[in-house]
Protein backbone atom coordinates (compact mmCIF):
# COMPACT_ATOMS: atom_id res chain seq x y z
CA UNK A 1 0.00 0.00 0.00
CA UNK A 2 1.31 3.49 -0.78
CA UNK A 3 2.14 5.70 2.18
CA UNK A 4 -0.13 8.61 3.07
CA UNK A 5 2.56 11.25 2.88
CA UNK A 6 6.02 11.53 1.39
CA UNK A 7 8.57 14.17 2.34
CA UNK A 8 10.62 14.20 -0.84
CA UNK A 9 14.24 15.13 -1.29
CA UNK A 10 15.22 16.64 2.05
CA UNK A 11 18.41 16.34 4.04
CA UNK A 12 17.43 14.08 6.94
CA UNK A 13 19.32 14.90 10.13
CA UNK A 14 20.09 11.93 12.36
CA UNK A 15 20.81 13.17 15.91
CA UNK A 16 24.48 12.96 16.88
CA UNK A 17 25.24 11.03 13.68
CA UNK A 18 25.00 13.29 10.66
CA UNK A 19 22.86 13.98 7.66
CA UNK A 20 21.69 11.88 4.74
CA UNK A 21 19.75 12.90 1.64
CA UNK A 22 16.59 10.82 1.82
CA UNK A 23 12.83 10.75 1.53
CA UNK A 24 10.60 10.15 4.54
CA UNK A 25 7.39 8.17 4.05
CA UNK A 26 4.61 8.51 6.63
CA UNK A 27 1.40 6.58 7.12
CA UNK A 28 -1.08 7.72 9.72
CA UNK A 29 0.94 8.96 12.68
CA UNK A 30 4.09 6.97 12.08
CA UNK A 31 7.16 6.88 9.89
CA UNK A 32 6.94 4.14 7.25
CA UNK A 33 10.39 4.33 5.74
CA UNK A 34 13.41 6.56 5.34
CA UNK A 35 15.52 6.14 2.24
CA UNK A 36 16.35 7.29 -1.26
CA UNK A 37 13.75 7.39 -4.03
CA UNK A 38 10.80 6.06 -2.05
CA UNK A 39 7.63 5.37 -4.09
CA UNK A 40 4.97 8.06 -4.51
CA UNK A 41 2.45 8.54 -1.72
CA UNK A 42 -1.02 10.01 -1.37
CA UNK A 43 0.44 13.45 -0.71
CA UNK A 44 3.91 14.80 -1.31
CA UNK A 45 5.89 17.59 0.35
CA UNK A 46 8.80 18.93 -1.66
CA UNK A 47 11.72 19.23 0.78
CA UNK A 48 14.53 19.85 -1.69
CA UNK A 49 16.94 22.31 -0.10
CA UNK A 50 15.42 21.77 3.37
CA UNK A 51 16.72 19.94 6.43
CA UNK A 52 14.39 17.44 8.10
CA UNK A 53 15.03 17.16 11.85
CA UNK A 54 13.30 15.28 14.64
CA UNK A 55 10.88 17.71 16.31
CA UNK A 56 12.25 19.65 19.26
CA UNK A 57 11.25 18.36 22.70
CA UNK A 58 11.52 21.34 25.03
CA UNK A 59 12.25 19.74 28.41
CA UNK A 60 11.52 22.85 30.45
CA UNK A 61 8.52 25.13 29.91
CA UNK A 62 6.09 26.94 32.22
CA UNK A 63 2.67 27.36 30.61
CA UNK A 64 0.91 28.28 33.87
CA UNK A 65 -2.50 26.85 32.96
CA UNK A 66 -4.75 26.28 34.82
CA UNK A 67 -4.64 29.14 37.28
CA UNK A 68 -2.33 31.70 35.68
CA UNK A 69 -3.36 31.52 32.06
CA UNK A 70 -2.95 35.28 31.79
CA UNK A 71 0.80 34.59 32.12
CA UNK A 72 0.90 32.14 29.21
CA UNK A 73 -1.38 29.14 28.47
CA UNK A 74 -1.34 25.84 26.60
CA UNK A 75 -2.75 27.34 23.40
CA UNK A 76 -0.33 30.24 23.00
CA UNK A 77 2.62 28.43 24.57
CA UNK A 78 2.39 25.43 22.29
CA UNK A 79 1.79 27.65 19.24
CA UNK A 80 5.19 29.12 19.98
CA UNK A 81 6.74 25.67 20.52
CA UNK A 82 5.41 24.42 17.18
CA UNK A 83 6.52 27.58 15.37
CA UNK A 84 10.01 26.98 16.73
CA UNK A 85 10.10 23.44 15.37
CA UNK A 86 8.85 21.76 18.53
CA UNK A 87 6.62 18.69 18.55
CA UNK A 88 6.54 18.05 22.30
CA UNK A 89 7.34 19.74 25.58
CA UNK A 90 7.73 18.84 29.23
CA UNK A 91 5.87 21.26 31.44
CA UNK A 92 6.91 22.30 34.95
CA UNK A 93 4.79 21.84 38.10
CA UNK A 94 4.88 25.56 38.87
CA UNK A 95 3.61 28.32 38.10
CA UNK A 96 0.18 26.94 37.27
CA UNK A 97 -2.30 26.91 40.09
CA UNK A 98 -2.76 24.49 41.67
CA UNK A 99 0.88 23.38 41.28
CA UNK A 100 1.29 19.79 40.05
CA UNK A 101 1.88 18.17 43.43
CA UNK A 102 -0.91 15.55 43.52
CA UNK A 103 -3.10 13.51 41.16
CA UNK A 104 -5.94 16.01 41.22
CA UNK A 105 -3.71 18.85 40.09
CA UNK A 106 -2.11 16.58 37.48
CA UNK A 107 -5.54 15.73 36.06
CA UNK A 108 -6.57 19.39 35.94
CA UNK A 109 -3.44 20.30 34.02
CA UNK A 110 -3.81 17.41 31.58
CA UNK A 111 -7.43 18.45 30.92
CA UNK A 112 -6.32 22.01 30.14
CA UNK A 113 -3.52 20.78 27.89
CA UNK A 114 -5.70 18.31 26.00
CA UNK A 115 -8.15 21.09 25.21
CA UNK A 116 -5.65 23.38 23.56
CA UNK A 117 -2.13 21.98 23.09
CA UNK A 118 -0.75 22.02 19.55
CA UNK A 119 2.09 19.63 20.40
CA UNK A 120 2.42 16.54 22.60
CA UNK A 121 3.25 17.11 26.24
CA UNK A 122 4.59 15.42 29.35
CA UNK A 123 4.48 16.79 32.89
CA UNK A 124 6.97 17.22 35.70
CA UNK A 125 5.58 16.67 39.17
CA UNK A 126 6.48 18.93 42.07
CA UNK A 127 8.76 17.86 44.90
CA UNK A 128 7.59 20.10 47.71
CA UNK A 129 7.04 19.23 51.37
CA UNK A 130 3.88 17.09 51.44
CA UNK A 131 3.80 16.33 47.69
CA UNK A 132 2.25 13.02 46.71
CA UNK A 133 5.03 11.59 44.60
CA UNK A 134 3.58 8.08 44.42
CA UNK A 135 0.27 9.16 42.91
CA UNK A 136 2.04 11.51 40.53
CA UNK A 137 4.25 8.64 39.37
CA UNK A 138 1.17 6.53 38.82
CA UNK A 139 -0.29 9.28 36.61
CA UNK A 140 2.89 9.34 34.53
CA UNK A 141 5.10 12.32 35.43
CA UNK A 142 8.61 12.20 33.94
CA UNK A 143 10.16 13.09 37.29
CA UNK A 144 10.00 15.56 40.16
CA UNK A 145 11.15 19.16 40.24
CA UNK A 146 12.44 20.76 43.41
CA UNK A 147 13.62 24.25 44.29
CA UNK A 148 16.64 24.46 46.57
CA UNK A 149 15.87 28.18 47.11
CA UNK A 150 12.73 30.31 47.15
CA UNK A 151 10.79 29.71 43.92
CA UNK A 152 9.12 33.12 43.89
CA UNK A 153 5.74 31.39 44.04
CA UNK A 154 4.11 30.96 47.46
CA UNK A 155 2.37 27.68 46.63
CA UNK A 156 5.66 26.03 45.60
CA UNK A 157 7.93 26.11 48.65
CA UNK A 158 11.62 25.24 48.56
CA UNK A 159 12.83 21.79 49.58
CA UNK A 160 15.55 21.96 52.23
CA UNK A 161 18.19 19.24 52.45
CA UNK A 162 15.96 17.00 54.53
CA UNK A 163 12.93 17.32 52.25
CA UNK A 164 15.07 16.94 49.14
CA UNK A 165 16.83 13.85 50.46
CA UNK A 166 13.54 12.30 51.47
CA UNK A 167 12.00 13.11 48.07
CA UNK A 168 15.03 11.65 46.28
CA UNK A 169 14.74 8.38 48.19
CA UNK A 170 11.08 8.10 47.21
CA UNK A 171 11.82 9.10 43.60
CA UNK A 172 14.55 6.44 43.44
CA UNK A 173 12.06 3.80 44.56
CA UNK A 174 9.68 5.00 41.86
CA UNK A 175 12.44 4.86 39.24
CA UNK A 176 12.12 8.55 38.37
CA UNK A 177 14.65 11.40 38.31
CA UNK A 178 14.62 14.53 40.43
CA UNK A 179 15.30 17.87 38.75
CA UNK A 180 16.65 20.70 40.85
CA UNK A 181 16.78 24.45 40.58
CA UNK A 182 20.23 24.75 42.09
CA UNK A 183 20.96 27.95 43.97
CA UNK A 184 21.95 27.72 47.61
CA UNK A 185 19.91 30.13 49.77
CA UNK A 186 22.90 30.54 52.09
CA UNK A 187 24.85 32.17 49.24
CA UNK A 188 22.07 34.45 47.98
CA UNK A 189 22.08 38.03 49.24
CA UNK A 190 19.62 40.88 49.37
CA UNK A 191 20.37 43.04 46.29
CA UNK A 192 22.30 46.17 47.27
CA UNK A 193 20.27 48.41 44.97
CA UNK A 194 17.44 48.06 42.49
CA UNK A 195 19.22 47.76 39.13
CA UNK A 196 20.44 44.80 37.13
CA UNK A 197 23.98 44.91 38.50
CA UNK A 198 22.69 44.59 42.05
CA UNK A 199 20.49 41.68 41.03
CA UNK A 200 23.31 39.82 39.28
CA UNK A 201 25.66 40.37 42.24
CA UNK A 202 23.03 39.03 44.64
CA UNK A 203 22.95 35.62 42.92
CA UNK A 204 26.63 34.67 42.41
CA UNK A 205 27.96 31.58 40.64
CA UNK A 206 29.04 30.26 44.07
CA UNK A 207 25.37 29.85 45.01
CA UNK A 208 24.87 27.58 42.02
CA UNK A 209 28.03 25.56 42.68
CA UNK A 210 27.24 25.00 46.35
CA UNK A 211 23.72 23.82 45.52
CA UNK A 212 24.85 21.49 42.73
CA UNK A 213 27.43 19.90 45.03
CA UNK A 214 24.81 19.40 47.73
CA UNK A 215 22.27 17.94 45.28
CA UNK A 216 24.87 15.52 43.90
CA UNK A 217 25.67 14.29 47.42
CA UNK A 218 22.01 13.80 48.30
CA UNK A 219 21.26 12.02 45.01
CA UNK A 220 24.26 9.72 45.43
CA UNK A 221 23.13 8.81 48.94
CA UNK A 222 19.55 8.23 47.78
CA UNK A 223 20.48 6.30 44.62
CA UNK A 224 18.38 8.80 42.70
CA UNK A 225 18.85 10.08 39.14
CA UNK A 226 19.53 13.81 39.21
CA UNK A 227 18.95 16.42 36.53
CA UNK A 228 20.20 19.95 37.20
CA UNK A 229 18.09 22.45 35.29
CA UNK A 230 19.31 25.69 33.69
CA UNK A 231 22.99 25.57 34.67
CA UNK A 232 24.49 29.03 34.09
CA UNK A 233 28.22 28.41 34.65
CA UNK A 234 30.98 26.31 33.19
CA UNK A 235 32.05 25.13 36.63
CA UNK A 236 28.50 24.03 37.37
CA UNK A 237 28.58 21.79 34.32
CA UNK A 238 31.97 20.40 35.36
CA UNK A 239 30.66 19.45 38.81
CA UNK A 240 27.88 17.40 37.19
CA UNK A 241 30.14 15.88 34.53
CA UNK A 242 32.79 14.84 37.06
CA UNK A 243 30.37 13.35 39.58
CA UNK A 244 31.07 9.74 40.47
CA UNK A 245 28.62 7.15 41.69
CA UNK A 246 25.52 9.08 40.71
CA UNK A 247 23.44 9.27 37.54
CA UNK A 248 23.51 13.02 36.94
CA UNK A 249 22.87 15.22 33.92
CA UNK A 250 22.35 18.90 33.36
CA UNK A 251 20.75 21.28 30.94
CA UNK A 252 21.48 24.86 30.00
CA UNK A 253 19.29 27.38 28.21
CA UNK A 254 19.65 29.43 25.03
CA UNK A 255 19.81 32.65 27.04
CA UNK A 256 22.95 31.54 28.89
CA UNK A 257 24.47 30.51 25.54
CA UNK A 258 23.70 33.69 23.63
CA UNK A 259 23.39 36.55 26.14
CA UNK A 260 25.59 37.95 28.89
CA UNK A 261 24.94 40.13 31.91
CA UNK A 262 25.97 43.18 29.91
CA UNK A 263 22.97 42.63 27.66
CA UNK A 264 20.74 43.43 30.65
CA UNK A 265 21.62 47.08 30.12
CA UNK A 266 19.63 47.16 26.88
CA UNK A 267 17.27 44.19 27.25
CA UNK A 268 16.17 45.07 30.78
CA UNK A 269 13.75 42.89 32.71
CA UNK A 270 12.73 40.76 29.75
CA UNK A 271 16.14 39.10 30.12
CA UNK A 272 15.85 38.71 33.90
CA UNK A 273 16.11 35.12 35.08
CA UNK A 274 17.53 33.08 37.95
CA UNK A 275 20.32 32.13 38.01
CA UNK A 276 21.06 35.41 36.22
CA UNK A 277 22.88 35.87 32.93
CA UNK A 278 26.64 35.54 33.39
CA UNK A 279 29.86 36.81 31.82
CA UNK A 280 31.17 36.23 28.33
CA UNK A 281 33.68 33.70 29.72
CA UNK A 282 30.88 31.63 31.23
CA UNK A 283 28.93 31.80 27.98
CA UNK A 284 31.92 30.48 26.03
CA UNK A 285 32.55 27.74 28.59
CA UNK A 286 28.96 26.57 28.18
CA UNK A 287 29.35 26.28 24.39
CA UNK A 288 32.54 24.25 24.88
CA UNK A 289 30.80 21.90 27.31
CA UNK A 290 27.82 21.59 25.00
CA UNK A 291 29.98 20.68 22.02
CA UNK A 292 31.86 18.15 24.16
CA UNK A 293 28.66 16.43 25.31
CA UNK A 294 28.99 17.44 28.96
CA UNK A 295 25.64 19.25 28.77
CA UNK A 296 23.05 16.65 27.90
CA UNK A 297 20.31 18.94 26.69
CA UNK A 298 19.28 22.51 26.03
CA UNK A 299 15.81 23.64 27.12
CA UNK A 300 14.16 27.03 26.96
CA UNK A 301 12.89 27.46 30.55
CA UNK A 302 10.12 29.47 28.88
CA UNK A 303 8.66 31.38 31.82
CA UNK A 304 6.68 34.46 30.83
CA UNK A 305 4.44 36.74 32.85
CA UNK A 306 2.03 39.61 32.16
CA UNK A 307 3.79 42.76 30.89
CA UNK A 308 2.98 44.72 34.06
CA UNK A 309 5.10 42.29 36.09
CA UNK A 310 8.14 43.20 34.00
CA UNK A 311 7.80 46.91 34.77
CA UNK A 312 9.35 48.95 37.57
CA UNK A 313 12.62 48.25 39.35
CA UNK A 314 14.76 45.46 37.90
CA UNK A 315 15.08 43.71 41.24
CA UNK A 316 11.29 43.73 41.81
CA UNK A 317 10.27 42.46 38.35
CA UNK A 318 9.31 38.86 37.64
CA UNK A 319 12.30 36.71 36.75
CA UNK A 320 11.65 34.48 33.77
CA UNK A 321 12.48 34.51 30.07
CA UNK A 322 10.09 33.77 27.21
CA UNK A 323 12.02 31.80 24.65
CA UNK A 324 10.49 28.47 23.64
CA UNK A 325 10.08 29.58 20.04
CA UNK A 326 13.77 30.51 19.71
CA UNK A 327 15.33 27.39 21.26
CA UNK A 328 16.34 25.52 18.12
CA UNK A 329 17.34 28.58 16.10
CA UNK A 330 19.68 29.78 18.85
CA UNK A 331 21.31 26.37 19.33
CA UNK A 332 21.84 26.13 15.56
CA UNK A 333 23.85 29.35 15.70
CA UNK A 334 26.89 27.40 16.82
CA UNK A 335 26.08 23.68 16.64
CA UNK A 336 25.76 21.70 13.40
CA UNK A 337 22.25 20.27 12.77
CA UNK A 338 22.98 16.72 13.97
CA UNK A 339 24.40 17.97 17.28
CA UNK A 340 21.55 20.46 17.67
CA UNK A 341 19.01 17.68 17.08
CA UNK A 342 20.68 15.60 19.78
CA UNK A 343 20.57 18.23 22.52
CA UNK A 344 17.11 19.59 21.69
CA UNK A 345 15.32 16.34 20.90
CA UNK A 346 16.86 12.86 20.98
CA UNK A 347 18.76 13.30 24.25
CA UNK A 348 15.63 14.65 25.95
CA UNK A 349 13.57 11.62 24.94
CA UNK A 350 16.25 9.20 26.11
CA UNK A 351 16.93 10.96 29.39
CA UNK A 352 13.27 11.03 30.40
CA UNK A 353 12.22 7.70 28.86
CA UNK A 354 9.79 9.19 26.34
CA UNK A 355 8.95 7.20 23.19
CA UNK A 356 9.86 10.05 20.85
CA UNK A 357 12.59 11.48 18.61
CA UNK A 358 13.38 8.27 16.75
CA UNK A 359 13.84 8.50 13.02
CA UNK A 360 12.94 4.93 12.13
CA UNK A 361 9.98 2.95 10.79
CA UNK A 362 7.14 2.68 13.29
CA UNK A 363 8.18 5.77 15.28
CA UNK A 364 5.95 8.82 15.67
CA UNK A 365 6.36 11.12 12.66
CA UNK A 366 7.42 14.20 14.65
CA UNK A 367 9.43 16.27 12.22
CA UNK A 368 10.49 19.82 11.50
CA UNK A 369 11.47 21.10 8.07
CA UNK A 370 13.98 23.94 8.18
CA UNK A 371 15.53 26.11 5.53
CA UNK A 372 19.08 26.42 6.81
CA UNK A 373 20.01 28.87 4.07
CA UNK A 374 17.98 31.60 5.71
CA UNK A 375 18.36 33.78 8.77
CA UNK A 376 14.95 34.75 9.93
CA UNK A 377 13.31 36.74 12.73
CA UNK A 378 9.98 34.96 13.15
CA UNK A 379 6.80 36.53 14.43
CA UNK A 380 6.49 35.27 17.99
CA UNK A 381 3.32 33.35 18.83
CA UNK A 382 3.45 33.20 22.63
CA UNK A 383 0.94 35.23 24.60
CA UNK A 384 2.91 38.36 25.45
CA UNK A 385 5.81 38.23 22.97
CA UNK A 386 8.06 39.88 25.54
CA UNK A 387 11.13 37.87 24.71
CA UNK A 388 14.72 39.08 24.75
CA UNK A 389 14.92 37.32 21.37
CA UNK A 390 12.05 39.25 19.75
CA UNK A 391 13.26 40.58 16.42
CA UNK A 392 16.54 38.64 16.58
CA UNK A 393 17.27 36.80 13.34
CA UNK A 394 17.60 33.08 14.09
CA UNK A 395 19.66 30.54 12.17
CA UNK A 396 17.34 28.71 9.81
CA UNK A 397 13.68 29.30 9.08
CA UNK A 398 11.14 26.77 10.32
CA UNK A 399 9.05 25.99 7.24
CA UNK A 400 6.81 23.26 8.61
CA UNK A 401 6.29 21.27 11.81
CA UNK A 402 4.56 17.86 11.84
CA UNK A 403 3.24 16.22 15.00
CA UNK A 404 2.57 12.53 14.44
CA UNK A 405 2.22 13.07 10.70
CA UNK A 406 -0.09 16.09 10.95
CA UNK A 407 1.21 19.46 9.81
CA UNK A 408 0.50 21.76 12.76
CA UNK A 409 2.62 24.75 11.70
CA UNK A 410 3.38 26.03 8.25
CA UNK A 411 4.87 29.30 6.96
CA UNK A 412 4.12 31.43 10.01
CA UNK A 413 0.77 29.98 11.01
CA UNK A 414 -0.78 27.22 13.09
CA UNK A 415 -2.82 25.18 10.62
CA UNK A 416 -4.39 22.36 12.68
CA UNK A 417 -6.76 22.02 15.59
CA UNK A 418 -5.18 21.19 18.97
CA UNK A 419 -4.05 17.55 18.96
CA UNK A 420 -1.63 17.35 21.88
CA UNK A 421 -1.43 14.04 23.69
CA UNK A 422 -0.06 13.19 27.12
CA UNK A 423 3.32 11.43 26.99
CA UNK A 424 4.40 9.22 29.86
CA UNK A 425 7.76 7.52 30.35
CA UNK A 426 7.94 4.03 28.87
CA UNK A 427 11.26 3.32 30.57
CA UNK A 428 13.45 4.69 33.28
CA UNK A 429 15.89 7.60 32.87
CA UNK A 430 18.98 6.90 30.80
Q: Which is nearer to Zn ion, 72 or 366 (CB)?
A: 72
Provide φ and ψ at 407, rounded to 5°: -70, 115
Residue (124 or 314) nearer to Zn ion, CB: 124
Distance CA 331, CA 329 (A): 6
Subset of 171-200 contacting Zn ion (CB under 5 A): none
Segment interacting with Zn ion, rule: CB under 5 A, options 21-29, 299-307, 369-377, 402-410: 299-307
Q: Binders of Zn ion: how many residues, by CB under 5 A? A: 1
Task: For the chain, report the end-to-end CA distance as a whole number of angstroms.
Answer: 37
DSSP state of 91: E
Question: Which residue has the closest beta carbon to Zn ion?
Answer: 301
Of 72 and 301, CB closest to Zn ion: 301
- Is position 72 an interface residue for Zn ion (rule: CB under 5 A)? no
Q: In the bound complex, what is the minimum distance in angstroms from residue 264's beta carbon to Zn ion?
A: 19
Measured from the CB atom, the residue of 102 and 301 that comes closer to Zn ion is 301
Burial class (CB in 10 A: 0-12, 13-18, 19+), 225: buried
Q: How far is the CB of 273 from Zn ion (least distance, A)?
A: 9
The minimum distance between CB 93 and Zn ion, in angstroms, equals 10
Candidate ranges 13-21, 122-130, 203-211, 293-301; the one touching Zn ion (CB under 5 A): 293-301
CB nearer to Zn ion: give 54 or 319.
Answer: 319
C-alpha 111/C-alpha 61 separation (Å) is 17
Residues 6+ apart with CB under 8 A from 230: 60, 181, 251, 252, 253, 256, 273, 275, 299, 301
Nearest to 124 by CA among 314, 299, 340, 269: 299
Question: Between residues 82 and 253, which has the closer beta carbon with respect to Zn ion?
Answer: 253
The span of 98-106, 129-137, 301-309, 379-387 binding Zn ion (CB under 5 A) equals 301-309
For residue 181, the minimal CB distance to Zn ion (Å) is: 7
Question: Which CB sits closer to Zn ion, 58 or 301?
Answer: 301
The nearer residue to Zn ion, 34 or 179, going by C-beta atoms, is 179
Parallel, antiparallel or unpaired: strands 248-252 and 297-298 = parallel
Shortest spacing between CB 301 and Zn ion, in angstroms: 4
Quick check: helix, strand or coil at residue 422?
Answer: strand
Quick check: 301 binds Zn ion (CB under 5 A)? yes
Distance between CA atoms of residues 8 and 23, nearest Å: 5
**58 sits near Zn ion (criterion: CB under 5 A):** no
We find the least distance from the C-beta atom of residue 257 to Zn ion, in angstroms, to be 16
- In the complex, least distance from residue 68 CB atom to Zn ion, rounded to whole angstroms: 14
Helices (H), 243-317: 254-258, 264-267, 280-291
Residue window 377-406: x/- pattern of binding to Zn ion, with contact defined by CB under 5 A: ------------------------------
Q: Where are the beta strands (DSSP E) in 39-195?
A: 43-46, 51-54, 56-61, 86-91, 120-123, 125-126, 144-147, 178-181
Q: For Zn ion, which stretch binds (CB under 5 A), given 105-113, 296-304, 335-343, 365-373?
A: 296-304
Q: Give Cα separations from 386 to 27, 269, 276, 330 (angstroms).
A: 39, 10, 17, 17
Residue ranges in contact with Zn ion by CB under 5 A? 301
Amino acid sequence: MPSDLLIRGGTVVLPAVGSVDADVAISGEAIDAIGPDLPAAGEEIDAHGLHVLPGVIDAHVHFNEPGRTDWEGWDTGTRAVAAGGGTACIEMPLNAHPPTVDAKAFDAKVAAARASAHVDFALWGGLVPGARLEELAERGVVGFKAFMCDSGIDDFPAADAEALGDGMRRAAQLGLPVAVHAESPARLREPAGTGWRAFVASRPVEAELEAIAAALDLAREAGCSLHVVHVSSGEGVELVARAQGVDATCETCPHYLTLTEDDLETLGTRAKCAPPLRTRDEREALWRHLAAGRIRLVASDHSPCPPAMKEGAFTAAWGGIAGCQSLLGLVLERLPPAAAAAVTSANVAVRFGLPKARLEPGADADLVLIDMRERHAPELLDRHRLSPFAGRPLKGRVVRTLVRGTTVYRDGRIVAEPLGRLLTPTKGPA
